[in-house]
Amino acid sequence: MSGNAVIAEAAIAAGCRFYAGYPITPSSEIAAVMAEELPKVGGVFIQMEDEIASMGAIIGASLGGMKALTATSGPGFSLKQENLGFACMAEVPCVVVNVMRGGPSTGLPTLPAQGDVMQARWGTHGDHPIIALYPADLTEMYWQTVRAFNLAEKYRTPVILLSDELLGHMSERVEIPDASELTIIDRRKPDVAPDQYLPYDVKTELVPPMANFFEGYRYHVTGLTHDETGFPTEDPDLAEAQLRRLMLKVSANADDIMEWEEDGLADAEVAIFAYGAAARSARAAIAELRAAGIKVGLFRPITIWPFPEAALVKAVSHAKALFVVEMNMGQMIREVERGIRDVPIVGIHKVSGQPIDPEEIVLTVREFLEGKVTLPQKAVYQMSV
């Protein structure tokens, strides 16, 4: 089963009953599977007129009470940012998949890249909370897709599920869990009378309950800065309080949202930071280096946003060096640098449209250990491979 098919299957298992999308390589197979499967479970599939409309439609469907998904790649992700910001602002749960390809612009449509990890964080304008997950194998893809829906419902916020062309189009052995093994979270409904309902209560709750449209709780949903009732306000205190609550929903619950993998770091003299497809290259390189007696470990964020900074710092602080492996020109490396103060950081970046060959990582690590890579103090040595 391909990575894209896994996402579709898992979405349905998570309770997704609405898909709106627009054809784009390399994500289109997700739409194809949803088109085939959703009618069977009484769901709705619609191919919209463009990427913007697809994002709008899933927000509309979610307000009506459906768990909703759209999938795209870089150019489409750019177009979705406006409505994605609306979902953040109006606190509408939904899941957006970005199967990353080479950019910028039309870039390398059929080839993998990881150039949208910062766009996932800051793509839409204004301060906003965001959750982004990025698995590295297809069994994990299944679990993280389910988790994406759960987090969206739990925190009333859009969740971005990142993938890349390599993971999207490759197939491997996938352990599909039984439905009984899955925890499915649904949005919390209000337990007060309609006239008592505050859709954006700022005083008592970080994540207020969400009433679906047409269920008797009549309220207003807007992208304008609003008060606890949902109506627009320019009151400075209310504006500040609402945005702070919005950000806190994610930051105060970061421990629940963040997941990462640490592998072989306890005795590692060299640590590697990698995620998504690049983490597979890193794992292969680590296996080879370990076989040669070199102690190398992996730190792999599965939740990219919020970024598990404290865990990273703790896990790699004793290493001689931290290698950051990414299929971009150096994006998460800046986030890594914000946290790591005392460990030299070496970037291994590739934007050719080809996955990073594990040998390239092995070679760089060996060169470093042989003293051939001289590091300026506390500065980043960017190695182009």
Partner 1 sequence: MSFNYETYLRNDKMPTQWCSGCGLGNLMKAIIRAMTDCGIGNNDASIISGIGCSGRMSSYIDCNTLHTPHGRTLPYATGLKLSRPDKHVIVVSGDGDSMAIGGNHFIHTCRRNIDITLIVANNFTYGLTGGQFSPTTPANSWAPTAPYGTLEPQFDICEMAQASGATFVARSTVANLKHLTEMIRLGLEHKGTSVVEVISNCHVNFGRRNKHPEAPEMVNWIRQCCVDQDVIEVLPLEDLEGKFVVGVLSKKERPEYTAQWAKFVEKVQHEH
Partner 2 sequence: MSIRRDRYEIRFSGEGGQGVILGGAILAEAAILHEGRFAVQSPQYGSRVRGGPTKVDVIISDLPILFPRATKIDFFLALAQMSYNKYANGLADDAVLLIDANLVPNVNENGRYVHRLPIVEIAKVELGNEVLSSSVALGAVIALTGIVRPDAAWKAIEARVPAKVKELNRKAFERGLKAGESLKG
The residues of the shown chain that bind partner 1, judged by CB under 8 A, are 18, 20, 39-40, 42, 44, 46, 48-50, 52-66, 68, 82-83, 85-86, 213-224, 231-232
Smallest separation, CB 132 to partner 2 (Å): 22
Nearer to partner 1, 104 or 194 (CB): 194
Nearer to partner 2, 190 or 355 (CB): 355
Token duo for residue 377: 């103090």
- Indicate which of partner 1, partner 2, none lies near residue 53 (CB less than 5 to 8 Å, by partner kind): partner 1
Nearer to partner 1, 128 or 349 (CB): 128
Using the rule CB under 8 A, which residue among 202, 254, 284, 373 binds partner 2? 284
For every residue of 10-42, DSSP letters joined together read HHHHTTEEEEEE---TTTHHHHHHHHHHGGGGT
3-class DSSP state of 384? strand
- Reported as half-sphere exposure (CB side, CA atoms, 13 A), residue 379 has a value of 8
**Contact yes or no for 150/14 (Cβ under 8 A):** yes
- Indicate which of partner 2, partner 1, none lies near residue 231 (CB less than 5 to 8 Å, by partner kind): partner 1
Q: Report the first-to-last Cα separation within the chain, whole angstroms.
A: 31
Nearer to partner 2, 59 or 174 (CB): 174
Q: Segment 216-235, which members bind partner 2 (CB under 8 A)?
A: none
- Indicate which of partner 1, partner 2, none lies near residue 358 (CB less than 5 to 8 Å, by partner kind): partner 2
Task: Rule CB under 8 A: say whether 382 interacts with partner 2.
Answer: no
| Torsion angle, alpha carbons of 301, 304, 308, 314, to 10 | 30
Stretch that binds partner 2, among 121-129, 180-188, 213-221, 351-359 (CB under 8 A): 351-359
Smallest separation, CB 201 to partner 1 (Å): 18
3-class DSSP state of 160? strand
Closest CA to 243 of 233, 254, 253: 233
Task: Rule CB under 8 A: say whether 171 interacts with partner 2.
Answer: yes
Name the phi and psi angles at 292, rounded to 5.
-90, 5
Q: How far apart are CA 285 and CA 290, in angstroms?
A: 8
Q: Segment 28-47, which members bind partner 2 (CB under 8 A)?
A: none
Task: Rule CB under 8 A: say whether 357 interacts with partner 2.
Answer: yes
